[in-house]
Structure 1
Protein backbone atom coordinates (compact mmCIF):
# COMPACT_ATOMS: atom_id res chain seq x y z
CA UNK A 1 0.00 0.00 0.00
CA UNK A 2 1.27 3.49 -0.84
CA UNK A 3 0.33 4.83 2.57
CA UNK A 4 2.82 2.59 4.40
CA UNK A 5 6.47 3.32 5.13
CA UNK A 6 8.87 0.40 4.84
CA UNK A 7 11.67 1.01 7.34
CA UNK A 8 13.04 -2.53 7.59
CA UNK A 9 11.48 -5.87 6.62
CA UNK A 10 10.25 -6.27 10.21
CA UNK A 11 9.21 -2.63 10.65
CA UNK A 12 6.43 -1.23 8.44
CA UNK A 13 4.62 1.89 9.60
CA UNK A 14 0.98 2.40 8.61
CA UNK A 15 0.11 5.82 7.28
CA UNK A 16 -2.63 6.12 9.90
CA UNK A 17 0.05 6.32 12.63
CA UNK A 18 1.61 9.44 11.11
CA UNK A 19 0.35 12.91 11.93
CA UNK A 20 1.07 15.78 9.57
CA UNK A 21 0.80 19.46 10.36
CA UNK A 22 1.20 22.15 7.74
CA UNK A 23 2.34 25.72 8.24
CA UNK A 24 3.85 28.58 6.33
CA UNK A 25 7.41 28.05 5.33
CA UNK A 26 10.25 30.54 5.30
CA UNK A 27 12.66 30.70 2.41
CA UNK A 28 12.06 30.75 -1.35
CA UNK A 29 8.62 31.08 -2.84
CA UNK A 30 8.16 34.75 -3.62
CA UNK A 31 4.72 36.16 -2.90
CA UNK A 32 3.30 32.65 -2.60
CA UNK A 33 5.35 31.95 0.52
CA UNK A 34 2.95 34.09 2.53
CA UNK A 35 -0.15 32.18 1.42
CA UNK A 36 0.96 28.56 0.97
CA UNK A 37 1.19 26.11 3.87
CA UNK A 38 4.13 24.19 2.40
CA UNK A 39 6.10 23.42 5.60
CA UNK A 40 5.41 19.93 6.91
CA UNK A 41 5.79 18.63 10.47
CA UNK A 42 5.55 14.85 10.55
CA UNK A 43 4.95 13.27 13.97
CA UNK A 44 5.22 9.59 14.85
CA UNK A 45 4.50 8.17 18.31
CA UNK A 46 7.43 5.79 18.81
CA UNK A 47 6.49 4.82 22.36
CA UNK A 48 2.91 3.77 21.61
CA UNK A 49 3.18 2.53 18.02
CA UNK A 50 1.86 -0.98 17.41
CA UNK A 51 4.05 -1.20 14.27
CA UNK A 52 7.32 -1.33 16.19
CA UNK A 53 8.19 -4.88 17.29
CA UNK A 54 8.69 -5.30 21.05
CA UNK A 55 12.34 -6.34 20.63
CA UNK A 56 13.15 -3.09 18.73
CA UNK A 57 11.21 -0.58 20.84
CA UNK A 58 13.75 -0.20 23.73
CA UNK A 59 16.65 0.21 21.26
CA UNK A 60 14.82 2.86 19.23
CA UNK A 61 13.63 4.74 22.32
CA UNK A 62 17.15 4.75 23.78
CA UNK A 63 18.82 5.93 20.59
CA UNK A 64 16.25 8.64 19.88
CA UNK A 65 15.82 9.77 23.49
CA UNK A 66 17.24 13.24 22.80
CA UNK A 67 14.84 13.78 19.87
CA UNK A 68 11.64 12.49 21.48
CA UNK A 69 9.06 14.60 23.30
CA UNK A 70 6.74 12.35 25.35
CA UNK A 71 7.69 9.43 23.09
CA UNK A 72 6.82 11.31 19.88
CA UNK A 73 9.37 11.90 17.11
CA UNK A 74 8.73 15.05 15.05
CA UNK A 75 10.45 15.80 11.75
CA UNK A 76 10.05 19.12 9.93
CA UNK A 77 10.63 19.66 6.23
CA UNK A 78 10.51 23.05 4.55
CA UNK A 79 13.28 22.96 1.97
CA UNK A 80 10.96 22.70 -1.04
CA UNK A 81 8.36 25.13 -2.33
CA UNK A 82 5.63 22.53 -2.73
CA UNK A 83 3.81 20.82 0.10
CA UNK A 84 3.94 17.43 -1.62
CA UNK A 85 7.73 17.56 -2.01
CA UNK A 86 8.09 18.51 1.66
CA UNK A 87 5.77 15.65 2.68
CA UNK A 88 7.91 13.19 0.74
CA UNK A 89 11.13 14.65 2.20
CA UNK A 90 9.78 14.37 5.75
CA UNK A 91 8.73 10.75 5.21
CA UNK A 92 12.12 9.85 3.73
CA UNK A 93 13.86 11.50 6.68
CA UNK A 94 11.64 9.62 9.14
CA UNK A 95 12.52 6.30 7.47
CA UNK A 96 16.24 7.17 7.59
CA UNK A 97 16.12 8.12 11.28
CA UNK A 98 14.16 5.00 12.27
CA UNK A 99 16.36 2.72 10.17
CA UNK A 100 19.49 4.08 11.88
CA UNK A 101 17.90 3.82 15.34
CA UNK A 102 16.74 0.24 14.83
CA UNK A 103 20.05 -1.03 13.41
CA UNK A 104 21.76 -3.66 15.54
CA UNK A 105 24.73 -2.44 17.58
CA UNK A 106 28.16 -2.96 16.02
CA UNK A 107 30.18 -5.94 17.27
CA UNK A 108 32.40 -5.24 20.28
CA UNK A 109 36.00 -4.40 19.53
CA UNK A 110 38.44 -7.07 20.49
CA UNK A 111 41.53 -5.38 21.95
CA UNK A 112 44.80 -6.27 20.27
CA UNK A 113 48.44 -5.59 20.98
CA UNK A 114 51.04 -4.42 18.48
CA UNK A 115 53.12 -7.25 17.03
CA UNK A 116 56.79 -7.60 17.80
CA UNK A 117 57.64 -6.47 14.24
CA UNK A 118 55.51 -3.34 14.64
CA UNK A 119 57.25 -2.48 17.91
CA UNK A 120 60.68 -2.99 16.30
CA UNK A 121 59.76 -0.81 13.30
CA UNK A 122 58.50 1.94 15.62
CA UNK A 123 61.68 1.88 17.71
CA UNK A 124 63.86 1.83 14.57
CA UNK A 125 62.03 4.88 13.21
CA UNK A 126 62.53 6.68 16.53
CA UNK A 127 66.22 5.81 16.46
CA UNK A 128 66.61 7.13 12.90
CA UNK A 129 64.80 10.34 13.78
CA UNK A 130 67.04 10.90 16.78
CA UNK A 131 70.10 10.34 14.55
CA UNK A 132 68.85 13.03 12.15
CA UNK A 133 68.41 15.46 15.02
CA UNK A 134 71.75 14.54 16.57
CA UNK A 135 73.50 15.22 13.24
CA UNK A 136 71.95 18.68 13.04
CA UNK A 137 73.60 19.77 16.26
CA UNK A 138 76.69 21.93 16.14
CA UNK A 139 79.71 21.06 18.26
CA UNK A 140 78.91 23.91 20.68
CA UNK A 141 75.48 22.34 21.49
CA UNK A 142 77.03 19.16 22.95
Structure 2
Protein backbone atom coordinates (compact mmCIF):
# COMPACT_ATOMS: atom_id res chain seq x y z
CA UNK A 1 0.00 0.00 0.00
CA UNK A 2 1.54 3.24 -1.12
CA UNK A 3 1.02 6.11 1.30
CA UNK A 4 -0.19 8.59 -1.34
CA UNK A 5 -2.89 6.24 -2.70
CA UNK A 6 -6.59 6.58 -2.05
CA UNK A 7 -7.77 4.84 1.11
CA UNK A 8 -9.90 1.78 0.33
CA UNK A 9 -12.29 1.19 3.23
CA UNK A 10 -14.75 -1.22 1.58
CA UNK A 11 -16.62 -1.60 -1.71
CA UNK A 12 -18.92 1.33 -0.98
CA UNK A 13 -16.28 3.73 0.34
CA UNK A 14 -12.96 4.87 -1.12
CA UNK A 15 -11.46 8.01 0.40
CA UNK A 16 -9.35 10.09 -2.01
CA UNK A 17 -5.88 10.93 -0.69
CA UNK A 18 -6.68 14.65 -1.13
CA UNK A 19 -9.32 14.42 1.65
CA UNK A 20 -6.82 13.14 4.22
CA UNK A 21 -4.72 15.56 6.27
CA UNK A 22 -1.45 14.44 7.85
CA UNK A 23 0.42 16.22 10.63
CA UNK A 24 3.81 15.18 11.91
CA UNK A 25 5.33 15.74 15.33
CA UNK A 26 8.02 14.35 17.57
CA UNK A 27 7.19 10.96 18.94
CA UNK A 28 7.84 9.60 22.40
CA UNK A 29 9.06 6.05 22.65
CA UNK A 30 11.80 4.10 20.88
CA UNK A 31 14.42 5.81 18.78
CA UNK A 32 17.15 7.01 21.11
CA UNK A 33 18.70 10.34 20.13
CA UNK A 34 16.90 10.24 16.81
CA UNK A 35 13.56 10.71 18.56
CA UNK A 36 14.58 14.28 19.45
CA UNK A 37 15.05 15.28 15.81
CA UNK A 38 12.72 13.10 13.73
CA UNK A 39 9.04 13.99 13.39
CA UNK A 40 7.90 10.37 13.22
CA UNK A 41 4.51 10.67 14.98
CA UNK A 42 1.61 10.91 12.53
CA UNK A 43 -1.85 12.41 13.05
CA UNK A 44 -4.16 11.46 10.19
CA UNK A 45 -7.42 13.44 9.99
CA UNK A 46 -10.48 12.87 7.83
CA UNK A 47 -13.40 15.33 7.70
CA UNK A 48 -16.24 12.83 7.77
CA UNK A 49 -18.97 15.45 8.13
CA UNK A 50 -18.07 17.36 4.96
CA UNK A 51 -16.55 14.66 2.76
CA UNK A 52 -18.09 14.47 -0.73
CA UNK A 53 -16.83 10.90 -1.19
CA UNK A 54 -19.06 9.44 1.55
CA UNK A 55 -22.63 8.68 0.42
CA UNK A 56 -25.28 10.43 2.58
CA UNK A 57 -26.83 7.15 3.83
CA UNK A 58 -23.42 5.93 4.96
CA UNK A 59 -22.40 9.30 6.43
CA UNK A 60 -25.36 9.18 8.86
CA UNK A 61 -24.36 5.72 10.08
CA UNK A 62 -20.67 6.66 10.43
CA UNK A 63 -21.41 9.92 12.25
CA UNK A 64 -23.73 8.13 14.68
CA UNK A 65 -21.35 5.27 15.43
CA UNK A 66 -18.18 7.37 15.65
CA UNK A 67 -19.77 10.28 17.54
CA UNK A 68 -17.50 9.78 20.56
CA UNK A 69 -14.35 10.04 18.44
CA UNK A 70 -15.32 13.01 16.27
CA UNK A 71 -14.41 16.65 16.87
CA UNK A 72 -16.58 18.91 14.67
CA UNK A 73 -17.13 16.00 12.26
CA UNK A 74 -13.39 15.28 11.91
CA UNK A 75 -12.01 11.84 12.74
CA UNK A 76 -8.35 11.83 13.83
CA UNK A 77 -6.10 8.79 14.22
CA UNK A 78 -2.61 8.89 15.72
CA UNK A 79 0.26 6.47 15.14
CA UNK A 80 3.61 6.65 16.89
CA UNK A 81 4.57 3.05 17.58
CA UNK A 82 7.14 2.78 14.79
CA UNK A 83 10.49 4.54 14.58
CA UNK A 84 10.07 5.45 10.92
CA UNK A 85 7.62 8.12 9.80
CA UNK A 86 6.61 6.12 6.72
CA UNK A 87 5.71 3.09 8.83
CA UNK A 88 3.61 5.29 11.14
CA UNK A 89 1.87 6.84 8.11
CA UNK A 90 0.92 3.38 6.83
CA UNK A 91 -0.23 2.27 10.28
CA UNK A 92 -2.38 5.40 10.73
CA UNK A 93 -4.06 4.76 7.37
CA UNK A 94 -4.73 1.13 8.29
CA UNK A 95 -6.23 2.17 11.64
CA UNK A 96 -8.46 4.77 10.00
CA UNK A 97 -9.63 2.28 7.38
CA UNK A 98 -10.40 -0.43 9.95
CA UNK A 99 -12.25 2.06 12.17
CA UNK A 100 -14.39 3.27 9.26
CA UNK A 101 -14.92 -0.31 8.06
CA UNK A 102 -16.20 -1.40 11.48
CA UNK A 103 -18.51 1.63 11.75
CA UNK A 104 -19.87 1.12 8.22
CA UNK A 105 -21.06 -2.44 8.83
CA UNK A 106 -24.83 -2.85 8.57
CA UNK A 107 -26.68 -3.20 11.85
CA UNK A 108 -27.37 -6.75 13.01
CA UNK A 109 -30.83 -8.16 12.30
CA UNK A 110 -33.40 -7.47 14.99
CA UNK A 111 -33.99 -10.33 17.39
CA UNK A 112 -37.40 -11.95 17.25
CA UNK A 113 -38.52 -12.66 20.81
CA UNK A 114 -39.37 -16.30 21.51
CA UNK A 115 -41.11 -18.09 24.38
CA UNK A 116 -39.96 -21.30 26.03
CA UNK A 117 -41.95 -24.34 24.90
CA UNK A 118 -44.35 -26.13 27.23
CA UNK A 119 -41.94 -29.07 27.51
CA UNK A 120 -39.08 -26.75 28.47
CA UNK A 121 -41.24 -25.15 31.18
CA UNK A 122 -42.23 -28.55 32.54
CA UNK A 123 -38.61 -29.75 32.61
CA UNK A 124 -37.52 -26.60 34.42
CA UNK A 125 -40.27 -26.86 37.02
CA UNK A 126 -39.63 -30.60 37.47
CA UNK A 127 -35.93 -29.92 38.08
CA UNK A 128 -36.86 -27.24 40.64
CA UNK A 129 -39.19 -29.68 42.43
CA UNK A 130 -36.50 -32.39 42.54
CA UNK A 131 -33.91 -29.93 43.83
CA UNK A 132 -36.33 -28.70 46.54
CA UNK A 133 -36.97 -32.32 47.54
CA UNK A 134 -33.22 -32.96 47.89
CA UNK A 135 -32.88 -29.87 50.10
CA UNK A 136 -35.91 -30.84 52.20
CA UNK A 137 -34.39 -34.28 52.80
CA UNK A 138 -31.17 -32.70 54.07
CA UNK A 139 -32.91 -30.71 56.81
CA UNK A 140 -32.24 -31.71 60.39
CA UNK A 141 -35.50 -32.91 61.89
CA UNK A 142 -36.20 -32.26 65.56
CA UNK A 143 -36.11 -35.31 67.81
CA UNK A 144 -39.56 -36.58 68.73
User: When the two structures are superposed, what TM-score results if normalisation uses the length of structure 2?
Assistant: 0.91
1:95 aligns with 2:113: no
Q: Distance in 2 between matches of 1:29 and 1:93?
A: 22
Aligned to 2:95, the other structure's residue is in SS state: helix
Q: Distance in 1 between matches of 2:142 and 2:26?
A: 77
Compute the displacement of 1:28 (Å).
1.7
**28-37 vs 85-94, greater mean Cα deviation:** 28-37
Alpha carbon RMSD of aligned pairs, Å? 1.6
1:2-37 Cα deviation digits (max 9, x unpaired): 411111111101111100111111112222221211
Aligned to 1:8, the other structure's residue is in SS state: coil
1:97-125 Cα deviation digits (max 9, x unpaired): 11111111111111111111211121122
2:86 to 81, 84, 87: 84
Runs of 4+ aligned structure 1 residues displaced above 4 Å come to none
User: What does residue 113 of structure 1 align with?
Assistant: 115
User: When the two structures are superposed, what TM-score results if normalisation uses the length of structure 1?
Assistant: 0.92
Q: Distance in 1 between matches of 2:76 and 2:14?
A: 18
**5+ long unaligned stretches in structure 1:** none
1:28-79 Cα deviation digits (max 9, x unpaired): 2222221211111000000111110122111111111111111100001111
1:68 aligns with 2:70: yes
**5+ long unaligned stretches in structure 2:** none
Compute the displacement of 1:127 (Å).
1.5
User: What does residue 122 of structure 1 align with?
Assistant: 124
Q: Distance in 1 between matches of 2:39 and 2:81?
A: 13
